[in-house]
């Protein structure tokens, strides 16, 4: 992983259909601000081969052009406070079930750290 890459693909799972993974193209605008600009369906096995297991540090907001989760079309993104996995989110407050580890956690505020795929 290079420290200078400006575009990374983060792997997320659909929280309504946990078997469905998707990739989120994140572009760094400046410093540690990232914006999610695109989402596409992908298979997790393929994601590993492509080296998509990258993480980003910083804040992530979704671009106006972000199309939403390819499976359920929801445009938000939640990051699990327990495992750091990303999943689609409909913007509702309250408990959000993490499709990676099964933890139900409260979605709060903005995303400051995101881990993708397998942790290494
Ligand atoms: Zn979804
Ligand atoms: Zn989790």
Q: For the whole model, what pTM was predicted?
A: 0.83
Strand partners, 8: 26
Q: Kindly report, residue by residue over 17-61, the tens digit of the pLDDT.
A: 978 999 999 998 878 888 999 999 998 888 888 877 656 778 888
Q: Which pLDDT value is given to residue 108?
A: 67
- The structure tokens listed for 76 are 């938000």
Q: Is the pLDDT of residue 117 over 50?
A: no
Torsion of CA 57, 62, 64, 67, to 10 degrees: 120
> Is the CB of residue 115 less than 8 Å from the CB of residue 84?
yes
- Which is it for strands 56-62 and 86-89: parallel, antiparallel or unpaired? unpaired
Q: Is the pLDDT of residue 120 over 50?
A: no
Could you please report the per-residue DSSP string of 39-85?
EEEE-HHHHHHTT----EEEEEEE-TT----TTT---EEEE-TTT--
Q: Which residue has the higher pLDDT, 110 or 43?
A: 43
Q: Is the pLDDT of residue 111 over 90?
A: no
**CB within 5 A of ion ligand 2: which residues?**
80, 82-83, 85, 98, 100-101, 103
Q: Which pLDDT value is given to residue 107?
A: 74
Q: Which pLDDT value is given to residue 109?
A: 65
Q: Which pLDDT value is given to residue 92?
A: 79
Ligand that lies nearest to the alpha carbon of residue 16, given by its number in the listed order:
1
């Amino acid at each position: 992983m290079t420290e200078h890459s400006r575009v990374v693909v983060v792997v997320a799972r659909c929280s309504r259909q946990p078997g469905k993974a998707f990739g989120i193209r994140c572009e760094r605008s400046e410093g540690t601000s990232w914006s999610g600009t695109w989402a596409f369906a992908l298979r997790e096995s393929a994601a590993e081969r492509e080296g998509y297991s990258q993480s980003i540090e910083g804040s992530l907001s979704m671009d106006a052009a972000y199309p939403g989760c390819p499976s359920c079309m929801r445009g938000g993104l939640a990051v699990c406070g327990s495992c750091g996995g990303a999943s689609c989110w409909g913007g509702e407050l309250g408990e959000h079930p993490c499709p990676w580890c099964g933890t139900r956690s409260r979605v709060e505020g903005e995303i400051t750290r995101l881990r993708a795929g397998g942790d290494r």
